[in-house]
Amino acid sequence: MSERTEKFFLGKGRFVDDITFPDMLYLEIVRSTQAHARILSVKGGLTANDLPLNLTSTGESYRRGRDYEVEPVLAKEKALYYGQPVSAVYDRDRYKAKDLVETVEISYDELKPVLSIEESLNSAPIHESRKDNVVSKFEIGKRFSLDSVVKLSDQLYIERVLPNPLETRGIVAYYNSGKLNVWISTQSVYSIKNGLTRILGLDPSDINVYQADTGGAFGSKSAVYPEYVIACYLSMKTKQPVKWIESRDEHISSTRPGRGAKAELQIYGDREGRIKGIEGKIYVDVGAYADDLSSTSPSWIGYQITGPYSIENVFIEGYSVYTNKAPLGPYRGAGRPEAAFFIERMMDMYADHIGIDPVELRLKNLPEKAFESPTGLKLLPSKVFFEDGIKKIGYSELKKKNAGISFGILLPAVFGGESAKIKVENGIIKVWLGGNAHWQRHELFAKRILKEILGIPEDKVFLMNGDTIELQKGIGTWGSRSAITAGNALYKAALLLKEKAQKMNINDPENLLKSDLSSEYYENMQLDPTMISFLLTAAVAEIQDSIKPVIKEVWAYYDVGEPLSEEAVYGQITGGLLMGVQEVLSEALKYDSKGKPIPETLAATGIAYSINAPKYHVQIATFGRSNTPHGAKGVGEAGTVGAPPAAARAIENLLGKRVNRLPLDFDLLA
Amino acid sequence: MKVPPVFEYVRVDSLNGFYKNVNQYSFPLIISGGTVAVLMLKNRVIRPDAVIDISGIEDLNVLNIDKEKDEVFMGSNIKLYRLKSLLPDDSASELVIKSASTVGDIAIRSVGSVGGNVCLGDPGNDLPVALTAIGAYAVVGSQESIRRVPVSDFYVKPFKNVLKKGEILLGVSYKRLYGYRTSYKKHFLNFLDHYVGIVAALAKVEGKSIKDLRMAAAGEAIGTPVKIDISEFSSVDDAVSIKKKLIDYLNSLPMHDDRFGTIKFKKKILSALMFQAIDEVLGS
Amino acid sequence: MKVKLNINGKDYESEIEPRMLLVDFIRDVAGLKGTHVGCETGSCGACMVLLDGMPAKSCLMLAAQAQGKKIVTIEGLSAGDKLNSVQRSLSERKALQCGFCAAGFSIMGTWILENEREIDYERVKADLAGVVCRCSGYEQVIDSIVEAAKNERKN
């Protein structure tokens, strides 16, 4: 079968819930029904007394030594968010396991929940050992003092958003013969393995992690979660295979949502439109427990606050704060959309204030040559790209439709680099990438690279699921990094294989396929300015049924460097654009006054259905090559970065009211 | 994964079979299509001792037209998607079809039944709004007798109808109407999620003279369907006054801010739906 | 209780609890894993099957309710390893990304081709309203089904 998704059409996929073993135990989690409470007693199931471990690992970040509270696997004396795991039950019968959940009795002493950034800053610490709810504080850039003619301020807010992949999280853990084998829906078998190894105190050679077919993730499947640890622990204890599959309402209450950021910004400049400075405060609501990624989120947002512009003065104070909500995690974009929304909303405000066209303002502030922002972000000049793009999307016509425009950048998370392995076996070529694909169609670029370098026909190349035995070291798929990092590793692995083949006098694809050669390559990478993509997005809004503002059409003129697969890139762009648009209109995770998530169903989270899709006009552009052998840049998160500010502006133009909060408030929805 | 609690399952193929079985259980749940019932079971918001599946009762899967009374009877087991091909040609039926064809999505309509959509009592159910506007009756059967309850009186409160234990909704009947314009409008925040407001209206207009004007509304902002009395208006030129009365009516309703909207938002949505419906049925 | 269900033309008989959901019967008793559980509340269509020719969400039905009906799952759409026309079109256009929605779009797409008279972009877009794809933005899926219809009509 040469087309990877064909197997899904035949019902032959192997998602984690499709994996069964005899005598398998079904694990179910008993979760806190309180957002903030002292746990007085727990009667039933496995509790923190049986399993006193903490989640001392994170998915995508590598910095250690920060001062924050990590989530315990099972809640100990306090429950700090609705949905927090408190106890675990299991049974051989899946339905009976669910019945057992109801038999566990938990008694709580309710406390007042802290449910917003404002409340967090003004409430007693939810972690009693701390002096307040501030997890971390950052200063980005350098303090400045400007005597500007124009000085504008605004408060901007983006509500939390759930990743909501179509397939929820799940794991099968099977400990036998001294080895823990784990099958999991994931973005990185390495992240899972590293985390489980550390948390459970295992020797790395005693644990193998295999990626099941993964039905999307959008950031939710890189980190180690309590349920994974519990499943592994239970299997190690009982020596039986253990399966845990998340239900959608558990995803809503307990999977890490993203966004949840607020900015108070001031922008300075002159009457002609030269922006001189941007300063302010950025807050991120990290929920009840932090990790490296969430606690550093404000600094990552601040780092890119200048967007593609050459703004000479930047000073941002960043704060990550605790609340009684599920811990924050990365959601497609992970800081990039927040930064883009914040700066682009200020740019539009500025353009309106001095009375010039918003595109003209933006073009005026693009660097003419390479620019290093006071935050340390290094950018290549992009004026030519955007000027070109403006023409290509037909801006003069779009202006008549009151389109909203955004100029953005996409910083791929290349840190850590990536690995790749190629193995020739039985007349076909198998490829393993450290970055485990879970919707990105990496097989398309894998086939292309091997065709280009080794001349192998595409139908002989198979991208395998992530596997820590076949490929021992790797990083993961997130942060728009794969084309660059995995592409780079695969390219070089292919060159290595070619070299090996030539040494054995194998100089053509047919003979290569008859061999049993293999090669492996790993390389760390650093972000350099050539890897940054530029994004031009436009959106037009209209009123539907005379009541509801919707986005009718979106244009994307996106720089992807040299695209490795146009089909894959196109699909990722439209997927990201739709998510970005929906985040403006309706998609959000809101909580009631007791801290319970409001959406009871997937539909209630506000995700986009087919009838919500705007018309897409996508143009894939190449504005320079990245500093990699194949020249591709990242693209996965592009739509979620570019669409929200463009859509917000389109709605603003349509309604004549400022949009500074996502999703739209009720007074903008009718 | 959500799974229902334990219950017995009984399938009945006749009304007699139903009456015999229903009294053998303390709190049975009756299902036809079950699209919402099964969800409620999965959420464990109901824990019946038995689920009685009436979908096999063919007597409830019929559409009858009483030629004498010129009344349509829709049996409870009729699937929603079939209504557009089964119902006859008249204005009341047209309004019923308009509402039925917007329930959920195709997969829901292909399984969901008339009876389920009428009995549930969810403020977001579609049929009851149209049925209230056209003055339909719920036909309720028990072992002893058959009674008719106006659909507008069929609900005690959201999710609670007037059926007593041992009773079954046999179907819905309504008098056919001719020469009316019909309108069915609704608004949701998210697809397949709750409806903020639903409005059904119909009007018979001759020239500029209004012969009959009816409206019903429901949705999260209102609750189970209410009949809105705008019968005093006699001319198409009264549209402005009609709308003013509707605004006054909305202002008289108890509303509060909640997840479905602020009071201001709910009123804006409902008034927009009502005004659109009025414009459509008066042809203005 | 004993239950016998006809799935893809084959009878499957089993002793089950009355509360067993149709999707679980399909996956765990019949062993057909192509039908998925996505949301459990009928919001996503990942569990879509055909019930007597009409699309139905199998997570919102008890297995017992499906007795006496003809059930077709995604596995029943293809002949051996040969995809049906809708699936071929979706596959050629590379419309699916993670693949978890395959059952929803295959079943609905097949139903559309067999039941709708006029098949254009807007019609397909509206008919697909109950099936979620989080990855793609829907456009390529809709285009694939429209194209499959065009090709089928030609032949």
- Residue C143 belongs to a domain: yes
Considering only the beta carbons, identify the residue of B5, B187, B193 that sits closest to A604: B193
Confidence at residue A564, expressed as pLDDT on a 0 to 100 scale: 87
**Domain C-terminal end among B175, B210, B233:** B175
State the nearest Cα–Cα gap between A205 and chain C, in angstroms.
Answer: 30
- Tell me phi and psi for residue B131, to 5 degrees: -65, -40
Q: C73 at the A interface (CB within 8 A)?
A: yes
Q: Which residues does chain B have within 8 Å of residue A95's beta carbon, measured at their own beta carbons?
A: 3
Query: Which pLDDT score, from 0 to 100, does residue A443 have?
Result: 87
B1 within some domain: no
Interface test with B, best of C65, C69, C73, C117 (most B CBs within 10 A): C65
Say if the Cβ atoms of C60 and B191 lie within 8 Å: no
pLDDT band at A58 (very low <50, low <70, confident <90, very high): low
Report CB contact under 8 Å: C137, A17: no
Indicate if B274 and B195 belong to the same structural domain.
Answer: yes
| Domain end residue (candidates: B129, B160, B175) | B175
Task: Kindly state whether residue C80 falls inside one of the protein's structural domains.
Answer: no
The percent of residues above 90 in pLDDT, for chain A, comes to 93
**Residue boundaries of the structural domains of chain A:** 380-412+527-670, 418-523
pLDDT > 70? residue A9: yes
pLDDT at B1: 81
Q: How many domains does chain B have?
A: 3
- Interface contact B1-C45, CB threshold 8 A: no
Residues in chain B: 284
ipTM of the complex: 0.98
Q: Where are the alpha helices (DSSP H) in chain B?
A: 15-22, 37-42, 83-86, 91-100, 106-109, 114-119, 127-133, 239-252, 263-282
Chain A residue whose CA is closest to C32: A11
Q: Report the distance separating Cα B2 and Cα C109, nearest Å.
A: 28
- Same domain? For C149 and C97 the reply is yes
Kindly state the tokens that stand for A272.
């002609």
pLDDT at B59 over 90: yes
- Do residues B121 and B31 both lie within one domain? no
Domain boundary among C44, C75, C106: C75
Give the pLDDT score at A75: 98
CB atoms within 10 A of CB B160: 11
Which numeric CATH code is attached to A418-523? 3.30.365.10
CATH classification at residue B213: 3.30.390.50
Report the C-alpha gap between B163 and C14 in whole angstroms. 36
For residue A62, pLDDT beyond 50: no
Report which of A382, A470, A455 is spatially closest to residue A423, judged by C-alpha positions.
Answer: A470
Contact residues on chain A for B268, CB-CB shorter than 8 A: 670
Q: Are A430 and A493 in contact, with CB atoms under 8 Å apart?
A: no
Query: Do C90 and C145 belong together in one domain?
Result: yes
B181 burial (CB, 10 Å; 0-12 / 13-18 / 19+) is: middle
Instruction: Tell me what pLDDT residue A567 has.
Output: 84
Percent of chain C with pLDDT over 90: 95
What average pLDDT score do residues C87-110 get?
Answer: 95
Instruction: Find the mean pLDDT for residues B31-48.
Output: 97
Residues B220 and B249 in one domain: yes
CATH number for the domain harbouring residue B32 = 3.30.43.10
Residues A187, A49: contact at Cβ < 8 Å?
no
Q: What integer pLDDT is reported at residue C153 of this predicted model?
A: 84
Q: What is the mean pLDDT of chain A?
A: 95
pLDDT reading at B268 higher than 90: yes
Which class in CATH covers the domain with range A380-412+527-670? Answer: alpha beta
DSSP state of C86: H
All residues of chain C having their beta carbon less than 8 Å from the beta carbon of residue B105 are 45, 129-130
d(CA C47, CA C29): 15
Has residue B167 been placed in a domain? yes
Tally of domains in chain C = 2
Confidence of residue C49 (pLDDT cuts 50, 70, 90): very high
Residues C97, C123, single domain; the answer is yes
Residues B46 and B125 in one domain: no
For residues C106 and C132, state if they share a domain: yes
**Partner chains of C (3+ C-beta pairs under 8 Å):** A, B
**Are B89 and B110 part of one and the same domain?**
yes
- Answer yes or no: pTM beyond 0.80: yes
Q: Would the CATH topology of A380-412+527-670 be identical to that of A418-523?
A: yes
Give B3 to chain C, closest Cα distance, Å: 8
Is the pLDDT reported for residue B87 higher than 60? yes
State mean pLDDT over A634-651. Answer: 97
* The pLDDT of residue A439 is above 80: no
Residue B131 near residue B172 (C-beta atoms within 8 A): yes
Instruction: Work out the pLDDT band at B13, boundaries 50, 70, 90.
Output: very high
Containing domain of residue C141, as a range?
85-154
Instruction: Select from C75, C94, C111 the last residue of a domain.
Output: C75
Q: Which residue of C has its CA nearest to B35?
A: C60
pLDDT at A2: 43
- Is position B108 within any domain? yes
pLDDT tier, A151 (very low <50, low <70, confident <90, very high otherwise):
very high
Mark whether C68 and C125 lie in a shared domain. Answer: no
Position A3 confidence tier, pLDDT thresholds 50, 70, 90: low
- Indicate if C52 and C21 belong to the same structural domain: yes
Q: Tell me A628's DSSP state.
A: S
Subunit contact C45:B107, Cβ cutoff 8 A: yes
- Indicate if C106 and C56 belong to the same structural domain: no
Average pLDDT over residues C14-32: 98
CATH number of the domain where residue B167 is located:
3.30.465.10
Tell me: pLDDT of A65 over 80.
Answer: no
Q: B98-150, pLDDT tens digit by residue?
A: 999 999 999 999 999 999 999 999 999 999 999 999 999 999 999 999 999 99
The pLDDT value given to residue A1: 37
Residue from the list A577, A602, A607 with its beta carbon closest to the beta carbon of C137: A577
Residue A637: pLDDT band (50, 70, 90) is very high
User: Distance of CA A234 to CAs A304, A488, B45, Å?
Assistant: 43, 39, 31
> Chain C residues with CB inside 8 Å of A583's CB?
none
Q: Does residue C44 sit in the same domain as residue C71? A: yes
Inside any domain, residue B257: yes
Minimum Cα–Cα distance from C27: chain A residue: A18
Q: Which domain holds residue B249?
A: 180-282
pLDDT at A565 (0 to 100): 86
Confidence (pLDDT) at C130? 93
Other Cβ atoms less than 10 A from the Cβ of A547: the count is 18
- The CATH number covering residue C89 comes to 1.10.150.120
Residue C118 lies in a domain: yes
Report if residue C147 sits inside a domain.
yes
Between residues 81 and 100 of chain C, which touch chain A (CB distance below 8 Å)? 81, 83, 87, 90-91, 93-100
For residue A6, name the pLDDT band (cuts at 50, 70, 90).
Answer: confident
Nearest CA in chain A to C43: A603
- Looking at the predicted structure, is the pLDDT value of residue C46 above 70? yes
Is some CB atom of chain B closer than 8 A to the CB atom of A670?
Answer: yes
Question: Per-residue pLDDT averaged across A505-514, rounded?
Answer: 94
* Tens digit of each residue's pLDDT (9 = 90 or more) over A523-557: 999 999 999 999 999 999 999 999 999 999 999 99
Q: Residue A137: what pLDDT?
A: 95
Question: Using CB atoms, which chains have 3+ pairs under 8 A with A?
Answer: B, C
pLDDT of residue A535: 98
What pLDDT, on the 0 to 100 scale, is given for residue A5? 76
List, as ranges, residues 100-139 from A with C-beta within 8 Å of B: 102
User: Before A663, cis peptide (omega within 30)?
Assistant: yes
